[in-house]
A and B are shown apart, each in its own frame.
Chain A
Amino acid sequence: MYKLQEEMEEQVEMVGRAFVEHYYHLFDTDRSSLASLYHQSSMLTFEGQKLQGVDDICAKINQLPFDKCHHFISTIDTQPSSFAGGITVFVSGSLRLMCEEHPLRFSQMFHLIPTPQGSFYVQNDIFRLNYG
């Protein structure tokens, strides 16, 4: 019983980590392709601004006032959410913009929902810079 639970926890953690690496890799190298990770029902709150649906979310992300950037991830925490097969992921890290001297620290949470094809999409996404 405990072994099964441990295995499930490891699985959730592996999926969460793999997703996070994939997400920020896309963000940093091919931002418009993030569209593949959101659906019409997806929600993003970006520094307090609320957006819904893959089109509006991607428009926002593509319009952010910087071209090149790199996300460095410090921590990734995962837990299964109550939604069948869903996973909550909590990330903290720093975001380096090419034109800026100091990286910005941020926290972000994702709620991932499984797709029939066996991957995940982002149903909920909340991003906040950590100031001070």
Chain B
Amino acid sequence: MDPDGLSKAFVEHYYSTFDTNRAGLANLYQDSSMLTFEGQKIQGSQNIVNKLTSLPFQQCKHSITTVDCQPSGPAGGMLVFVSGNLQLAGEQHALKFSQMFHLMPTPQGSFYVYNDIFRLNYA
């Protein structure tokens, strides 16, 4: 699959897991992974998933507006830049967000998230 196809597939998988089985995101991070979530820095799959599963909402739905990707270097990494909307159940208006992933290949032929930075886009 070409890089654009791979990054779109990853993004769809990431957000559908987030929206339906948030704890399942643990498979997409490793101990070396880093997340900066609205300025808060977290390291390691367990801590990252703890943060994401303890966010103050139950149901949510990510709708993706743009996905851009570029190869990051000779190690086969991919940078993915996403913008979209996050609808929380019970809220009238969706939140806008941008998120950047740096994906690294695994020996098994898939990818994991090495760098993850998430920011809401306020008006």
Q: Which residues of the partner chain B approach A109 to less than 8 Å between Cβ atoms?
A: 79, 81, 100, 117
A82 within 8 Å of B by Cβ?
yes
Q: Which residues of the partner chain A approach B98 to less than 8 Å between Cβ atoms?
A: 90, 92, 107, 128, 130
The residue that B114 contacts in the complex, of A81, A90, A107, with Cβ under 8 A, is A81
Nearest 3 CB-CB pairings of A with B: A107-B98, A90-B117, A126-B81
Q: Which residues of the partner chain A approach B31 to less than 8 Å between Cβ atoms?
A: none
Q: Contacts A92-B98, A107-B121, A130-B83: A83 and B68 contacting too (C-beta < 8 A)?
A: no
Chain B residues within 8 Å of chain A by Cβ, number: 25
The residue that A128 contacts in the complex, of B71, B72, B77, B81, with Cβ under 8 A, is B81
Q: Mostly helix, strand, loop or mixed at chain A's interface?
A: strand
- B27 CB, min distance to chain A CBs, angstroms: 19
Q: Mostly helix, strand, loop or mixed at chain B's interface?
A: strand
Contact-residue size bin, chain A (C-beta under 8 Å from the other chain):
20 to 34
12 contacts between A and B (CB under 8 A): A45-B81, A77-B119, A81-B72, A83-B72, A88-B100, A107-B81, A111-B102, A124-B70, A126-B68, A126-B100, A128-B66, A130-B96
A96 within 8 Å of B by Cβ?
no
Contact B119 A128 (CB under 8 A): no
B63 within 8 Å of A by Cβ?
no
Expressed in whole angstroms, the Cα–Cα distance for A132 and B77 within the complex equals: 32
Binary CB contact string for chain B from 59 to 71 against chain A (1 if under 8 A, 0 otherwise): 0000000101011
Interface residues of B in 81-123 (CB under 8 A from A): 81, 83, 96, 98, 100, 102, 104, 114-115, 117, 119, 121
B56 within 8 Å of A by Cβ?
no
